[in-house]
Structure 1
Amino acid sequence: MRHHPRRDSRGILDPGRLLRRVRFRRRLPAAELRPYVEHYWLIDWELTEPFDQRVVPHPAVNVVFHGQVDGPETAEVAGVGSELFTITLHGTGRVSGVQFRPGGFRPFWRRPVAELTGQRRPLVDAGLPTDGPVCPGTDYDRCRRLDALLTRWAPEPDPLAAEATALVEEIRADRTLLRVDDFARQHGVSTRRLQRLFLDHVGVGPKWVIRRYRLQEAIEQAAGGPIDWATLAADLGYSDQAHLVREFTAVTGVSPAAYARSLG
């Protein structure tokens, strides 16, 4: 089990710009929640002009509490996003978010997670109770409120959810995993069973997960300096450089070269 939050910037477009404009940090939940929750993410800002941030979503459900100084706190559950997510921040505000591990929301939701894919629903409409505002106070205060809230939701241990979480973690960690049928064969299961397991517990299919993690790796590497795109395309399992360029552009809205230039 991880003892500190992830430090990578996978999925965040132009992470340096984000960190210059807002306070962004990750915190771990209470130990008993870590089988389900990847991390909490906290953002605070005081802006004199609107700020747009784009994110290529992970195969994960998020629960998000958004507090603005001049309005009430809102709460929503965000299913796995199939498209680029853009948020505009303005004025002074705070966000306290929960990123569940892939498969980790199923024990709370107790329904097929694919029902939430591509959707953002008010938390009350999802049938999950709240205990009042989450965002005020210190990081410690905010995290302990989230701990208490998720504990109140009483997740039911689910061996299939745990299996899905472990399989997605394997895909994320092993960049040589490129084909669903090979992956299913390695684990002694049929491709059809793997597909059903992922849709029910993660919200998207295994092919989508593989391609999304590989694309996120390409985005992160682009932020780290000059890249041999042809070599990277081969390493990540794309048929050729043009295939990587097409998928990168379709998801992010800009070509890899244009994105790399924008970071300068």
Structure 2
Amino acid sequence: MARPRRDTRGILDPAELLSRVRFRRHEPAEPELRPYLEHYWLIDWDLPEPFASHVVPHPSVNVVFQRFDDRGFGEVAGIGLDLFTQKLEGTGRVCGVQFRPGGFGPFAPDAPVAQWTGRRLPLADVFGDLPGDVVDSVLSPAGDDGRVAALDAFLVACGPHPDPAADHAMALVDRIRADRTILRAGALARSEGMSLRTLQRLFAQYVGVGPKWVILRYRIHEALERAASESAVDWAALAAELGYTDQAHLVRDFTATVGVPPTAYAPRPDPRGRL
């Protein structure tokens, strides 16, 4: 497994967020968990006034342990289809697990991952009864090492249950993310020697959204990254590079996902560098 990502893809105005919270990423300490996870993500804050963060979600399921002031809880967050907004205020802590797209199924094999898409559910609704106070064991340690160890223990208790089909789904999403020439789900299916319907069923079972949706979401992430890092984006050229028939289609998808057109999205540069 590669080290945790250091980019800010999907985060709207990352400089503003990082100026208000402590955000870290860690890989699991347990090697058996690493093939299934992107990383753990840890956030702490103590804010004098409320702040709203905005994220264009990745095609990943997350398990999230949260404490806002004195109330702690844990939940499974299926893939978010829309812009996700979280209001932060007072003092709080979050310890999250971001699974690789396709990597959640081996920990909850009794239902297709698409069942959780667009939903946020208590841990017990997905994993059943859990031993002890799992939420407190994850959120209480003062240091990152203790929280990582608690997250490792939770996940090892839940699985994973190895599944070659899940491995295949993860590999296919990795291809989509890394290979910009993959612009159509049908072309991906043909390159894998399978029908489009078989590919769609695989993604519904193990990823939670269809391959077309994944391709589109990574296009939007790329457009966001370019808008954040380049002073003058050639949107027509970028639309062609991302496989759109014209600039208008990119503008439409970007606006529908982010809430503003590309030319209106101009986050401030992050003075501390990327995550």
Provide the TM-score with structure 1 as the length reference: 0.96
In the alignment, what sits opposite 1:158? 163
Counterpart amino acid of 2:87? T
| CA deviation profile, 1:76-102 (whole Å, cap 9, x unmatched) | 000011111000000011000000011
Identity percentage of aligned residues: 60
1:245 correspondence with 2:251:
yes
Unaligned runs of at least 5 residues, structure 1: none
| CA deviation profile, 1:225-248 (whole Å, cap 9, x unmatched) | 221111111000111111111110
Provide the TM-score with structure 2 as the length reference: 0.92
Which of 189, 201, 204 lines up with 2:209 in the alignment? 204
Over 3 Å counting, the alpha-carbon distance change for 1:220 and 1:130 in structure 2 is: farther
In the alignment, what sits opposite 2:13? 14
Contact 1:80 1:203 in 2 (8 A): yes
Deviation at 1:72, TM superposition (A): 2.7
Where do residues 170-181 of structure 1 align in structure 2 (5 Å cutoff)? 170-181=175-186
Contact 1:104 1:161 in 2 (8 A): yes
Where do residues 123-202 of structure 1 align in structure 2 (5 Å cutoff)? 123-128=123-128, 129=130, 131-132=132-133, 133=136, 134-136=138-140, 137-202=142-207
Contact 1:76 1:120 in 2 (8 A): yes
1:105 correspondence with 2:104:
yes
SS at match of 1:140: helix
SS at match of 2:10: coil
Where do residues 215-254 of structure 1 align in structure 2 (5 Å cutoff)? 215-225=220-230, 226-254=232-260
The higher relative CO (CA closer than 8 Å, separation ≥ 6) is in 2
In the alignment, what sits opposite 1:47? 47
| CA deviation profile, 1:187-221 (whole Å, cap 9, x unmatched) | 11111110000001000000000000011110011
Deviation at 1:125, TM superposition (A): 1.8
Over 3 Å counting, the alpha-carbon distance change for 1:186 and 1:27 in structure 2 is: same
Moved over 3 A (4+): none
Contact 1:130 1:149 in 2 (8 A): no
Deviation at 1:10, TM superposition (A): 1.0
Contact 2:127 2:158 in 1 (8 A): no
Contact 2:54 2:86 in 1 (8 A): yes
Counterpart amino acid of 2:242? L
2 CA distance for matches of 1:123 and 1:154?
14
1 CA distance for matches of 2:112 and 2:217?
21
2 CA distance for matches of 1:199 and 1:184?
14
In the alignment, what sits opposite 2:57? 57
In the alignment, what sits opposite 2:265? 259
1 CA distance for matches of 2:81 and 2:105?
18
1 CA distance for matches of 2:82 and 2:71?
28
1 CA distance for matches of 2:59 and 2:165?
17
Deviation at 1:154, TM superposition (A): 1.9
2 CA distance for matches of 1:114 and 1:170?
20
Aligned residue pairs, count: 261
2 CA distance for matches of 1:80 and 1:130?
26
Deviation at 1:131, TM superposition (A): 4.2
